[in-house]
Amino acid sequence: MRRIGVLTSGGDAPGMNAAIRAVVRAGIYNNIQVMGIARGYAGLINGEIKEMDLASVGDIIHRGGTILKTARCEEFKTDAGREKALNVLEVFGIDGLVVIGGDGSFMGAQKLSHAGIKTIGIPGTIDNDLSYTDYTIGFDTAVNTVLDAVSKIRDTSTSHERISIIEVMGRHCGDIALYAGLAGGAESVLVPEEEFDIDDICKKLIQGKARRKLHHIIMLAEGTGDALELKKEIFNKTGIEARVTVLGYIQRGGSPTAFDRILASRMGARAVELLMEEKSGRVIGIKKNELIDMDIDEALSANREFHKEMYELTKILSI
């Protein structure tokens, strides 16, 4: 392996820069030339590629976003688009590729791997929706960002004795809501993985009011339902007015936590190791704090296990 490429694809996530830095530095340490590919698969198709030196990844470990930029690229999903990408890789003499992104990006990586390019995936997404790994890069930072917002909303919520519905990201995965809900002491955590009964929530609200509880935080994962609809339903059933905060893109930004920087650094370096071992079509994950690597198809078809025990705990601790 003499020259490898690295790209970030899909939604950006805090810690992607730390992963890029690790790939570049571990590559150079092992006498491998590392090429940075801008704008994900779109930049690959367009040949937006330049060599990364040690300094090019200096002063980025603490920055959110991705210095390589990221994109979603429909053309890459077509045979013709990927053909172009393969030509570009050949022209640039790149024989190994590290793809940092989510499940969609991994599907693209798998196709490149089948076409003969040694490809390794690193999970970079705030959603934590990849079942084969305990954590994805960016998740911990997003949870901490949400937690910070919850603490602030709780202050004003308490002062005005209000009900707050906080909608968080995660698409079909409730982990951000679950982790931030447990850490933030939310009274209700609503996630797509678990059915909820609106009457139970209303009962809890009324009981809370009766015992002069100062606030009530409902943490709603975006894949569960619409926050404004929930507010309306609660009002219709109880006459209680809730305030809705949709946290949105602030959850994708910010300086990565120590956890995400360390995870990204370990995974970036492991990706280079795997390429040096001529491995391909594999994704890196973490299980019980040990790095693992797995076939992409197997990883993408693994069943997601929702953390039921933590979910039940949110209920027990919010009585």
Q: Applying CB under 6 A, does 72 fall inside the site for ligand ATP?
A: yes
Between CA 7 and CA 44 the distance in angstroms is: 8
Write down the residue that tokens 């911990």 correspond to.
Answer: 140
Which CB, 11 or 64, lies closer to ligand ATP? 11
**Does 135 interact with ligand ATP (rule: CB under 6 A)?**
no
Does 174 bind ligand ATP (CB under 6 A)? Our answer is no
* 127 labelled catalytic: yes
Angle at 318 between CA 314 and CA 319, to 5 degrees: 130
Say if residue 25 carries a ligand binding annotation.
yes
| Angle, alpha carbons 170-142-185 (nearest 5°) | 90
Question: H or E element: which one contains 27?
Answer: helix 16-29
**Residues near 129 by Cβ (< 8 Å), separated by ≥ 6?**
102, 103, 136, 170, 171, 172, 173, 175, 304
Q: Is 181 in the site for ligand ATP (CB under 6 A)?
A: no
Radius of gyration in angstroms for the set of CA atoms belonging to the chain, rounded to a whole number:
22
Binding segment for ligand ATP (CB under 6 A), chosen from 73-81, 217-225, 280-288, 289-297, is 73-81
CA pair distance 220, 165, nearest whole angstrom = 7
Gap between the Cα atoms of 31 and 93, Å rounded: 15
241 contacts 163 by C-beta, under 8 angstroms: yes
Closest to ligand ATP by CB, 7 vs 26, is 7
> In this chain, which stretch among 5-13, 16-24, 28-36, 220-228 interacts with ligand ATP, using CB under 6 A?
5-13
- One of 73, 97, 263, 294 touching ligand ATP (CB under 6 A): 73
When CB distances to ligand ATP are compared, the closest residue is 104
**Position among 4, 6, 8, 11 found at the interface with ligand ATP (CB under 6 A):** 11
Binding segment (CB under 6 A) for ligand ATP, from list 68-76, 114-122, 173-181, 200-208: 68-76
Annotation: binding site for ADP: 21-25, 154, 185-187, 211, 213-215
Annotation: binding site for ATP: 11, 72-73, 102-105
Enzyme catalytic residues:
127
